[in-house]
Chains A and B, each alone.
Chain A
């Protein structure tokens, strides 16, 4: 498969990266960020939303740091496995794709992963034959193939593994761009729909992830559902953590079930309010099942994915008791 042509920019500092993006915006030229490229380049080869410019972050020194309180966006997933980061992060990173892909894949790319859909992750010829999809081929005026007869929303699925884990550890993300830096909890970073994906403004990129001091005290579990134990994206994922013995600290997040990964604060606080007992995990599992709304655009059917969320929640909790 042939890579479509684009101009590659290789800034060597964060400032230069911001400058290039600002200039391109000024000239009205569109661009993408690229880190490991394991997601972006595959989509480019399929000619999905290609841009004339690509800015690579891989030449910027110092943004690949790995420690238990801070992880740079260019940290390779392979360097998270077996490092001193929280064991849940190491575990989730180790479950992403395959060992070969994890050598290139980065944390920044994982968090900013494009949403997926089997009407969308297809070659140009293929998409032409369905008369295009709304997300891949904006401007054709075409419909969404998953939920037809509406063409303003995309329900493509976010299938990253690490976001839910970082959410239950209370992580924050640092975004930087021509207008400066901003920080926010990761659980506020994602934004509907499947096309918008997150709050990044044009020209902004995710610089690093920071974790609260008490995060290392949290114990938790990440449950990933997939067909094959290597390569496969999650079909559903549940992360759970708490400060041992402190039910008020329970956090639960899900991934691969909707267009964004999501922390389930409401469901958790409601169950806790009812008084935490033996049956609470089951009740919480049921509440989360009710709240998630998967659609038919991944390998396994949505009814199934939704049902087994309960099992994943239950199993995650059984690991932390």
Chain B
């Protein structure tokens, strides 16, 4: 039997009685369930510190704390047992004694003023417990402090069909539903706006009013202008492309509908249970709306049945539940029907995007112009940020001669758009990648070679000043090219079969914490507590929404302390016990929380090693920390068990406690909007998709995807692959079948999961996930994000593959069969063909010039490959900024080298006439400017 806590044999008196206070403290066991220490797993210890794990991208600062325990190994998520056994408690699983059921009265009108609400009949209905209206919630809130334009329930007016008007709680659901029919409301109908183009124009009643900052009398919520680089390069292009896109709005389609339970406990504190991605913002918003200090509110994040950005705003129904519960003194539970999920929306913005690109005769991208008009629906939500992301996140991974972006987000009388996986980057990315393909075709060169010859290297700066650290873009492109057998297929497949490429670039954590100054407060904090039992409790506010953040945090602690993962217990559900965390958005969690967790774990590790030093007499530098044992490097027999070291460390102080935090380094430029898109690291990805197009019916079947994603280091390859495959599924939905259909009358026609067509398992292609590890210098063990970036490339890869299959460029998403059919018919008639099956397949038509260019691109990419490797391994540490490819000196500010080098965030007056659709927002003036000109 292994050593354990048994009564010591000699501790009894002769008469058999025990001697008080004389028991010898028993020798501690090993902790964990396996009595035997596991061998050090050298395959998962990096080469740089004597292990066998290959490091093609060079060593990492965290290598020395690797123990070979769990990092890099495929690991089922730690909460998966709870989920597959049905024991995970989601929002609607919370049942408190004496609960009442809340229901929300929603607007039947698109846009209307509320003249009066009479609740007397509702209150008189037996079984009704509490009733609330906008009058109970005068304070506004919103996810971004700059745009607080929401209320718990409509104050003054409703802004879209389904907007919240009032709420009621009752003894049961049937009574609550009956009560909704008894509100008597007098409306004054207003003229609704549905078309985002109309949103750019003046309106008698703008949907919101921003006072002196309001743009004329339009419905423009945010406008952006950015112009960087040498605009003279755009003139007389060698090649160009021009795409005008219409992209439908899409919804996250998470499994769990929103649900909330609110309860004011006997001490008058609010306990609010909600499946939130960002519990901290809800916490703040509740405090504002309810007029209660934050410390009197405990936000309890339940298990989250999928979020994808759709559960990251503080929501009005959360406020409604709290208000009803406060009024009635009884817990209130509100669960949405699927239709209500669509009313609250926050999905991807319906977008009108125009992309113009130019290239010079060396195949360098000289011009990159984007105009994005995005439809925000009724509220601001994250829209301020989306407006920037649509432009700035499209620039990399390429080196550009110039970049020009105009963006506008308008309010319309539809459910609000917001953040969705790949926030703001997905639609323009698709347009840009298809534009590149079009240019490659015009130049008759391979689109992969065109990309490979125009990539920014590792440790460089993008045209808008983002600091790029690790960069696995090149490897990703090379690997999908090889994996898909691209060179044998591209432009060679028969009609109806096609192959296409697309790339992606995404932030790994937004560099700016929305609510505070990053120089004063850290982005993320993690607390660790280890008590006598040896179990490690980790407190974090990171919200696991299914992406596996709890597992990631547990893994890094397990790795640093060399403890089996089942000894790490992550507590992340309650704001009372977890340190403040900004939440699960912008793919920040692993990068920031795992970094904070490593710091906290290092502190504990140091204490353990010091204790072992005390016992063994060997300096920590000569000690090895392995599975529940610490021992002398040169003689493993000399060592202590983890529990021995722990108990030694606990002498005089009891439980070990530590705290670690993550702060981002200073980065990026100073221009207006420079913070949007800044991140401590960026992920890169490249996908090749293969499609079969039924040319007569217009049906597309995506058959294969080779999906390479640079996540820095796969802490858990199983989870990374899951994210890649899941992203493919989600992106395929947007490109093939998903859309929020607003019919002739402005109503959302398909607010249900039968008509909102998320691909089923039948539509899934075979996905080959390819993990690229560029080892990010600042990421935890080298890791970067893998949750959002992998979605981006699938859209353009499919659109480009469809072109390869049938030779038609489509600019409308989704590519539903009727859209494909229309395109085919148009072309068939143009070519005067009898049958669609006679359409020509696109083929290379090489001439001497294009062969020359193709060769020079391949040569350049070979040279760049060497350049990139040297920079990746920090053998070359010279500065590199966007522009070097065009012959500029990275050591001298570009504006000093080129006359007319632009870095503008507002258009020049002479530019106004030429701005694109969204750019027209710049023709209007803000109220304050109009005032001062009067």
Contacts and interface: CB of A to CB of B under 8 A. Distances in A.
Contact of A130 (B177, B745, B759): B745
A301 B818 contact: yes
Interface residues of B, number: 34
B757 interface: yes
Interface in B771-820: 816-818
B337 interface: yes
B747 interface: yes
Contacts of B737: 227-228
Contact of A308 (B162, B177, B696, B747): B696
Interface residues of A, number: 27
Given A1-B337, A118-B749, A299 B755 contact: yes
B763 A229 contact: yes
Contacts of B337: 1, 123
A81 interface: no
Given A227-B737, A230-B761, A118 B816 contact: no
A300 interface: yes
A125 B762 CA distance: 33
B732 to A, nearest CB: 11
A248 B299 CA distance: 74
B927 interface: no
A303 B749 CA distance: 19
Interface in A205-248: 225, 227-232
Nearest to A311: B696
A229 B161 contact: no
Interface string B310-343: 0000000000000000000000000001010000
B751 interface: yes
Given A125-B339, A300-B817, A311-B697, A2 B177 contact: yes
B821 A307 contact: yes
Contacts of A301: 818
A129 B161 contact: yes
Contacts of B759: 228
B757 A228 contact: yes
A300 B696 contact: no
Interface in A87-131: 118, 122-123, 125-126, 128-130
A145 B761 CA distance: 34
B754 interface: yes
Interface in B875-891: none
B280 interface: no
Interface in B748-774: 749-751, 754-755, 757, 759-763
A229 B701 CA distance: 10
B819 to A, nearest CB: 9
Contact of A230 (B106, B109, B762): B762
B109 A304 contact: no
A284 B890 CA distance: 70
A229 B760 contact: yes
Contacts of A299: 750, 755, 757
Nearest to A125: B106
A125 B108 contact: yes
Interface in A47-71: none
Nearest to A98: B760
Contacts of B763: 228-229
B821 A304 contact: yes
B174 interface: yes
A263 to B, nearest CB: 23
B747 A300 contact: no
A229 B750 contact: no
Contacts of A307: 821, 825
B762 A228 contact: yes
B741 to A, nearest CB: 8
A110 to B, nearest CB: 16
A126 B817 contact: no
Interface string B702-738: 0000000000000000000000000000000000010
Given A2-B174, A227-B816, A126 B747 contact: yes
A126 B177 CA distance: 14
B110 to A, nearest CB: 8
B478 interface: no
Given A1-B337, A125-B339, A231 B747 contact: no
Given A118-B749, A125-B108, A229 B762 contact: yes
A129 B745 CA distance: 10
Contacts of A308: 696-698, 817, 821
Contacts of B760: 228-231
Interface in B810-868: 816-818, 821-822, 825
A101 to B, nearest CB: 11
Nearest to B105: A125
A2 B177 CA distance: 9
Contacts of B202: none
B173 interface: yes
A128 B108 contact: yes
Interface string A147-175: 00000000000000000000000000000
B818 A304 contact: yes
Contacts of A126: 339, 747, 751
Contacts of A227: 737, 757, 816-817
Interface in A1-33: 1-2, 5
A145 B744 CA distance: 10
A300 B818 contact: yes
Nearest to B748: A126
Interface in A290-318: 299-301, 303-304, 307-308, 311
A2 B173 CA distance: 8
From B109, B337, B761, name the one whose CB has the most chain A CB atoms within 10 angstroms.
B337
Contacts of B339: 123, 125-126
Contacts of A232: 754, 757
A129 B757 contact: no
A133 to B, nearest CB: 12
A311 B821 CA distance: 12
Contacts of B106: 125
A211 to B, nearest CB: 30
Contact of B697 (A225, A228, A231): A225
Contacts of B173: 2
A232 B745 CA distance: 25
Nearest to B818: A304
A123 B750 CA distance: 11
Contacts of B743: 118
A134 to B, nearest CB: 15
Nearest to B695: A311
From B161, B162, B755, B759, name the one whose CB has the most chain A CB atoms within 10 angstroms.
B755
A232 B756 CA distance: 11
B333 to A, nearest CB: 14
A208 B818 CA distance: 38
Contacts of B751: 122, 126
- Which 10 pairs across A and B sit closest by C-beta, in order of nearness? A304-B818, A229-B762, A129-B108, A311-B696, A230-B760, A118-B749, A128-B108, A230-B762, A129-B161, A301-B818
Interface of A: 1-2, 5, 118, 122-123, 125-126, 128-130, 145, 225, 227-232, 299-301, 303-304, 307-308, 311
10 contacts: A2-B174, A118-B743, A118-B755, A125-B108, A130-B745, A225-B697, A228-B759, A229-B760, A230-B761, A231-B754
Given A118-B755, A130-B745, A304-B817, 16 more contacts: A2-B173, A2-B177, A125-B106, A125-B108, A126-B339, A227-B737, A227-B816, A227-B817, A228-B737, A228-B762, A228-B763, A229-B762, A304-B818, A304-B822, A308-B697, A308-B821
